[in-house]
A and B are shown apart, each in its own frame.
Chain A
């Protein structure tokens, strides 16, 4: 009796595996295996095993260090900023404004737009002889090289926020909507002020959602490379020379070792982040 039940369960799990098989085969063939080969390559020089030599080379490389620092700096500036702004916007939209559905629709729209379709606009806005500088001249302010000075960094932050804020607003609104009204009613009875309610109800209830918001904002932050690339090409101003520029340019020079190491470094950054959420999630599920 017991034995039969076990085989039934085995049959179930085999069925499940078969359903998942297309995804597993595709993932292994096109993503996992290539990545493992890439990882192996990072320890080779030609056909010789050199262990960490490539890593030492690359990590000591000035351009690599600059690009890694820039990526980090960008994320450290852009992610808190977008979280703050989208939280503020979500709070405003959440408070039962009549037009809030309209505003949400509008704020998500830039995310839907192909960047390349509007890049001309940003070109015209930020070019040396562009519209921003035209405005500055008219106001009697000095002309700024928006894309070819330290300002490029902030232009990129702005583009990132413009494009991705809708995503974060949607997630914050979902989080705010998941808070039961009872908490606020109880707080009202206790005579809590608006600030008390924010501090003791809203913020604690939002915290579990915050982890994913940070992660997705970082992931979207990595995608800001595309904006930098389309706007400024392979070699932008050094303040926005990202890890992906480094990878891209070494790809064109067919420098596979440097390439492999660069990708592994990004991979490790993301792995650490995802592990952080999953550990929390698995602990909650109790190792189901």
Chain B
């Protein structure tokens, strides 16, 4: 009797898990199938959003077409331009962050120097600050430096982002000191130790920084709106967040375009991402 009750509970739990899994994936599925809707079917189904017509919520198009894809890829180059701006921004920031934190993490993780703990503590606080708090402070400084209005206003502060420094310092600190001591005795310089031992030992950690930071910077919304001057400079993420109901067909395709890079990155590097989340916890 008791056993039976247990298995019912287990079944219920599994059912709940399956339902949640469907809920987790549904929005993406919705975007993907809708990118194959024809313009007229979208107007007919979702005209209600702009105040006229009915709402006919359905997942499978009556007639699948590549109309909207053709529009985005062939007819109006501005959407693909936004995709490339997003790519440039995200990759630029990630590259900067990897270089800065791979070098500086070594200093924080494997040396003792005055103020080290205070500085590291500052980094942790910064990591947790909502972007608005940082942006408000950064604005006048970026203005003084003449960076406002260009992508550098996003890439340069991003490269010094606290999360990268924090994560890599955590990852490096797991490398046993004995390994470094041995190399030192063999006469290796610190730079050699960093490049030949520490970095190769931390491949997984660096990979997780790449994934997590790419996701973050691919999805910028607040900073570009404030730091860039012209709408044409906006990356895909901002464009999508401001899209209005009049161009739904294009919006679905652009949504899928925005999903693709992060989804692919995740599929190929999910272990790195998960280990990144685990390593970025303060134990």
Binding site for B on A (CB under 8 A): 12-24, 26-27, 29-35, 37-38, 88-89, 92-93, 97, 103-124, 127, 129-131, 133-134, 162, 166-167, 170-171, 174, 208-209, 212, 215-216, 219, 222-223, 225-226, 229-230, 244, 247-248, 251, 259-260, 263, 266-267, 270-271, 273-274, 277-278, 281
Instruction: Flag B239-256 by CB within 8 Å of A: 1 or 0 each.
Output: 011010000100110111
Inter-chain contact B136/A259, CB cutoff 8 Å: yes
Which B residues lie within 8 Å of A171 (CB)? 277-278, 281
Inter-chain contact A112/B263, CB cutoff 8 Å: yes
Kindly state the separation between the CA atoms of A130 and B245 in the bound complex, as whole angstroms.
Answer: 13
Q: Which of B30, B105, B251, B282 has the most CB of A within 10 A?
A: B282
Q: Does B218 contact A (CB under 8 A)?
A: yes
State the 6 A-B residue pairs at the shortest beta-carbon distance, nearest first.
A16-B111, A26-B160, A20-B107, A19-B107, A23-B104, A34-B137
Kindly state the separation between the CA atoms of A223 and B132 in the bound complex, as whole angstroms.
Answer: 10
Kindly state the separation between the CA atoms of A146 and B195 in the bound complex, as whole angstroms.
Answer: 54
**Interchain nearest-CB distance for A127 vs B (Å):** 5
Kindly state the separation between the CA atoms of A114 and B134 in the bound complex, as whole angstroms.
Answer: 21
Contact of A130 among B49, B136, B259 (CB under 8 A): B49
Contact of A167 among B162, B270, B277 (CB under 8 A): B277
Inter-chain contact B141/A34, CB cutoff 8 Å: yes
Inter-chain contact B278/A116, CB cutoff 8 Å: no
Inter-chain contact A22/B100, CB cutoff 8 Å: yes
**If the complex has contacts A13-B114, A16-B110, A124-B57, are A226 and B222 also in contact, measured as CB distance less than 8 A?**
yes
Query: A-side binding surface: helix, strand, loop or mixed?
Result: helix
Inter-chain contact A247/B17, CB cutoff 8 Å: no
Inter-chain contact A112/B104, CB cutoff 8 Å: no
**If the complex has contacts A105-B270, A162-B23, are A263 and B258 also in contact, measured as CB distance less than 8 A?**
no
**If the complex has contacts A92-B14, A267-B129, are A121 and B27 also in contact, measured as CB distance less than 8 A?**
yes
**Interchain nearest-CB distance for A73 vs B (Å):** 17
Give 30 CB contacts A-B under 8 Å.
A13-B111, A20-B108, A27-B126, A30-B160, A31-B160, A32-B122, A35-B137, A37-B137, A89-B20, A103-B21, A107-B24, A109-B266, A110-B27, A114-B258, A118-B30, A122-B27, A129-B51, A131-B55, A134-B57, A170-B278, A215-B128, A216-B281, A223-B130, A225-B130, A225-B132, A229-B241, A266-B133, A273-B128, A274-B125, A281-B282
Inter-chain contact B237/A112, CB cutoff 8 Å: no
Inter-chain contact B277/A162, CB cutoff 8 Å: no
Inter-chain contact B104/A24, CB cutoff 8 Å: yes
Inter-chain contact B133/A267, CB cutoff 8 Å: yes
Contact of B108 among A23, A35, A109 (CB under 8 A): A23
**Interchain nearest-CB distance for B269 vs A (Å):** 10
Query: B-side binding surface: helix, strand, loop or mixed?
Result: helix
13 additional contacts (CB under 8 A) given A106-B21, A120-B31, A171-B281: A15-B107, A19-B107, A19-B111, A23-B123, A30-B138, A110-B27, A117-B240, A117-B258, A216-B281, A247-B132, A248-B222, A266-B132, A266-B133
**Interchain nearest-CB distance for A140 vs B (Å):** 17
Inter-chain contact A13/B137, CB cutoff 8 Å: no
Q: Which of A24, A116, A171, A226 has the most CB of B within 10 A?
A: A116
Which A residues lie within 8 Å of B252 (CB)? 120
Which B residues lie within 8 Å of A23 (CB)? 100-101, 103-105, 107-108, 123, 160, 165
Inter-chain contact A219/B128, CB cutoff 8 Å: yes
Which B residues lie within 8 Å of A112 (CB)? 215, 262-263, 265-266, 273
Instruction: Flag B176-193 by CB within 8 Å of A: 1 or 0 each.
Output: 000000000000001000
Which A residues lie within 8 Å of B238 (CB)? 116
**CB closest residue in chain A, given B46:** A124
**CB closest residue in chain B, given A130:** B55
Inter-chain contact A129/B20, CB cutoff 8 Å: no
Q: Does B81 contact A (CB under 8 A)?
A: no
**CB closest residue in chain A, given B215:** A112
Inter-chain contact A116/B123, CB cutoff 8 Å: no
**CB closest residue in chain B, given A174:** B278
Inter-chain contact A12/B259, CB cutoff 8 Å: no
Q: Does B1 contact A (CB under 8 A)?
A: no
Which B residues lie within 8 Å of A38 (CB)? 136-137
Inter-chain contact B274/A170, CB cutoff 8 Å: yes
Kindly state the separation between the CA atoms of A123 and B123 in the bound complex, as whole angstroms.
Answer: 37
Which B residues lie within 8 Å of A16 (CB)? 107-108, 110-113, 116
**CB closest residue in chain A, given B218:** A114
Q: Which of B55, B122, B251 has the most CB of A within 10 A?
A: B55
Which B residues lie within 8 Å of A19 (CB)? 103-104, 106-107, 111, 190, 194
**Interchain nearest-CB distance for A44 vs B (Å):** 13
Which A residues lie within 8 Å of B270 (CB)? 105, 108
Contact of A89 among B17, B48, B129, B218 (CB under 8 A): B17
Which A residues lie within 8 Å of B140 (CB)? 34, 37
Which A residues lie within 8 Å of B74 (CB)? none
Which B residues lie within 8 Å of A166 (CB)? 24
**Interchain nearest-CB distance for B149 vs A (Å):** 16
Q: Does B232 contact A (CB under 8 A)?
A: no
Inter-chain contact B255/A118, CB cutoff 8 Å: yes
